[in-house]
């Protein structure tokens, strides 16, 4: 049994807890919060369910203790740098860190990689949603006069998205001013954005999300090779399950002395599965 | 540059040739036919484009020469056994053999593995076609009185398929007898099969194929996670490109001294790509 510690117990932490308990090969040894003393953690792998910006420092702390980590760090432009930052630390402490292990970045990245390999020419469009964007929701909440917000991502095709932003105003706030400031915010200024005042954002809450990923590409010299990957999912549940699958892969890599930091596209997919190699190959290949 | 030899020059061999020539990091050193003297091959990887049943013996010959191999062996029930057969030979000769490297088995296997990892409960249905089935076409041709045949696979959902078998009869052959014998053949006896007499099979030829792969699964304790992967492709072109991507992976594994036989689900997806790791992670993760 792989011993798992969970750090952070929000949406993702709770989903990870469910996925660990459902896994036949894992044992939950503890759930830790932000200010707990982490030096006493007894685990093979720590699953980091903190806000994304806190992931790097928690990963460093765990790796220094020789505990492998998995996170769902989701700032696309900083993933490679995080990998480079954690690699020497993981190696020095004979541990493994799997980063950006959610669904995008994460399982979608594997699909994009596979499609680029089998049709190297061409364009992949990743269309998100409909679903709640964490980053845009946080940005909308930060606008003066906004009490609660929900920013929904609506796919318009070819990787272009509409933002539907539902705002619950603070008492006395002026909607037109809020709308103007929000539309000028860098998070929203580049997309078609609609701001909608509502009496209660809580009643709109829904963790459904999805992706529609398409590629038209060229295999060899043959054009018009068409591929499509669609998901309609509960967002934290999927992220939690991807992280648990990666905890398994982290142990496998560590057992092979392949210490270091990895993104999902650098890991053999079979390492994500429970069960033995023979059965998995016989049933899946 | 990776030096590539192609063995066999039918549909797949020709598509492989195109994909090798289109690859920025590969050099074609020779195309060999069935009866050529293979002991003089100079290559890092031999791409085996022979009929599936001849793959094991050609793989053994190449591995004994220390040349890595890639094949698209497609008899699902025998893939694990072939892996076990080739593993010691590859290891003894410090080579790598990547087997069953087409689209199914192959890239579809990676998608199935990924979906099982991220939603471990549930059922995946792989629906093939519409497209030409090699195995069923060969079986139809073997029926007495059949001059030419084409067996099309039509997806009916939940992994159930209809067979549309177009037959060109030999002079004097009785269609009703041919139809009866064909429907009793083990290849056709278990599926809904329609036999259609045509004046010319050649005029129906089309290498288009496709897949509609669906999974409804459970992540953690959350049901109704829905996934779908669709392709509409030129069959030999895609198979050829997958084999070429795997030639790259074979070299990478060999350089790491990870000798042995592998299926596609055992290989880090990034190994299938040309270009450097940093750029690939930055653009795909």
Q: Where are the domains of chain B?
A: 2-105+236-284, 122-219
Tokens of A113: 């990689």
Task: Give the pLDDT confidence score for residue B61 in this predicted structure.
Answer: 97
Check: CB of residue B64 under 8 Å from CB of residue B88.
no
* Whether residue B35 has pLDDT greater than 90: no
Sole residue written with tokens 């045509």:
B198
Given CB atoms, is B147 within the 8 Å cutoff of chain A? no
Tokens of A110: 């594997």
Q: Does B2-105+236-284 match B122-219 in CATH topology?
A: no
Q: Decide the pairing of beta strands A96-98 and A68-71.
A: parallel
Distance between A199 CA and the closest CA of chain B, angstroms: 30
Task: Give the pLDDT confidence score for residue A206 in this predicted structure.
Answer: 93
* Whether residue B134 has pLDDT greater than 90: no
> How far apart (Å, rounded) are the C-alpha atoms in residues B75 and B82?
10
Q: Are A222 and B268 in contact (CB < 8 Å)?
A: no
Sole residue written with tokens 């004097």:
B172
How many contiguous H segments (helices) and E segments (strands) does chain A have? 8, 13
Task: Give the pLDDT confidence score for residue B135 in this predicted structure.
Answer: 85
Task: Give the pLDDT confidence score for residue A87 in this predicted structure.
Answer: 98
Sole residue written with tokens 């991502």:
A153
CATH topology of domain A122-219: Dihydrodipicolinate Reductase; domain 2 (3.30.360)
Tokens of A246: 């990666």
Residue numbers in B near A111 (CB within 8 A): 111, 114, 229
Q: Are A285 and B278 in contact (CB < 8 Å)?
A: no
| Nearest residue to B120 (alpha-carbon basis) of A242, A26, A70 | A242
- Whether the ω angle into residue B15 lies within 30 degrees of 0, i.e. cis, is no
Across B117-127, average pLDDT = 98
In a structure prediction context, what are the per-residue pLDDT tens digits for chain A, which is 285 residues long? 999 999 999 999 999 999 999 999 999 999 999 889 999 999 999 999 999 999 999 999 999 999 999 999 999 999 999 999 999 999 999 999 999 999 999 999 999 999 999 999 999 999 999 999 988 998 999 999 999 999 999 999 999 999 999 999 999 999 999 999 999 999 999 999 999 999 999 999 999 999 999 999 999 999 999 999 999 999 999 999 999 999 999 999 999 999 999 999 999 999 999 999 999 999 999
* Whether residue B202 has pLDDT greater than 90: yes
Given CB atoms, is A80 within the 8 Å cutoff of chain B? yes
Task: Give the pLDDT confidence score for residue B206 in this predicted structure.
Answer: 93
Check: CB of residue A130 under 8 Å from CB of residue A152.
yes
Given CB atoms, is B247 within the 8 Å cutoff of chain A? no
Indicate the pLDDT class of residue B181, thresholds 50, 70 and 90.
very high
Quick one: which H or E segment has residue B168? strand B161-169
Give Cα separations from B134 to A225, B157, B209, B236, B268 (angstroms).
Answer: 20, 20, 11, 11, 29
Q: Are B219 and A19 in contact (CB < 8 Å)?
A: yes
Q: Which residues contact B206 (CB under 8 A, 6 or more apart)?
A: B132
Q: Are A274 and B227 in contact (CB < 8 Å)?
A: no
> How far apart (Å, rounded) are the C-alpha atoms in residues A143 and B31?
65
> How far apart (Å, rounded) are the C-alpha atoms in residues A232 and A235?
9
| Nearest residue to A219 (alpha-carbon basis) of B89, B175, B15 | B15
Tokens of B200: 């010319």
> How far apart (Å, rounded) are the C-alpha atoms in residues B213 and B125?
6
Task: Give the pLDDT confidence score for residue A134 in this predicted structure.
Answer: 84
DSSP tag of A102: B
CATH of B2-105+236-284 among 3.40.50.1700, 2.20.25.90, 3.40.250.10, 3.40.50.720: 3.40.50.720
Q: Are A222 and B245 in contact (CB < 8 Å)?
A: no
* Whether residue B34 has pLDDT greater than 90: no
pTM: 0.97
B40: Cα within 13 Å, side-chain hemisphere: 6
């Amino acid at each position: 049994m792989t011993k798992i510690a969970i750090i952070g117990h929000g949406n993702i932490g709770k989903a990870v807890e469910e996925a660990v308990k459902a896994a036949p090969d894992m044992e939950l040894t503890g759930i830790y919060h932000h200010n707990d003393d982490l030096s006493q953690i007894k685990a093979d792998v720590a699953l980091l369910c903190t806000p994304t910006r806190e992931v790097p420092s928690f990963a460093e702390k765990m790796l220094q203790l020789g505990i492998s980590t998995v996170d769902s760090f989701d700032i696309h432009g900083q993933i490679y740098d995080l990998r480079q930052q954690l690699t020497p630390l993981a190696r020095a402490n004979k541990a493994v860190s799997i980063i950006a292990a959610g669904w995008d970045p994460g399982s979608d990245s594997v699909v994009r990689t596979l499609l680029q390999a089998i049709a190297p020419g061409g364009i992949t469009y990743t269309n998100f949603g409909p679903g709640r964007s964490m980053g845009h929701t946080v940005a909308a909440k930060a606008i003066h006069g906004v009490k609660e917000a929900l920013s929904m991502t609506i796919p318009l095709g070819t990787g272009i998205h509409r933002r539907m932003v539902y705002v619950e105003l603070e008492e006395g706030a002026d909607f037109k001013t809020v709308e103007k400031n929000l539309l000028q915010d860098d998070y929203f200024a580049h997309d078609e954005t609609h701001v909608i005042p509502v009496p209660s954002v809580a009643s709109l809450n829904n963790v459904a999300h999805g992706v529609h990923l398409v590629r038209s590409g060229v295999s060899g010299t043959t054009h018009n090779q068409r591929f499509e990957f669609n998901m309609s999912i509960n967002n934290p549940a999927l992220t939690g399950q991807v992280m648990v699958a990666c905890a398994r892969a982290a142990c496998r890599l560590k057992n092979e002395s392949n210490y270091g930091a990895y993104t999902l596209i650098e890991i053999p997919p079979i390492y994500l599965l429970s069960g033995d190699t023979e059965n998995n190959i016989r049933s899946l290949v």
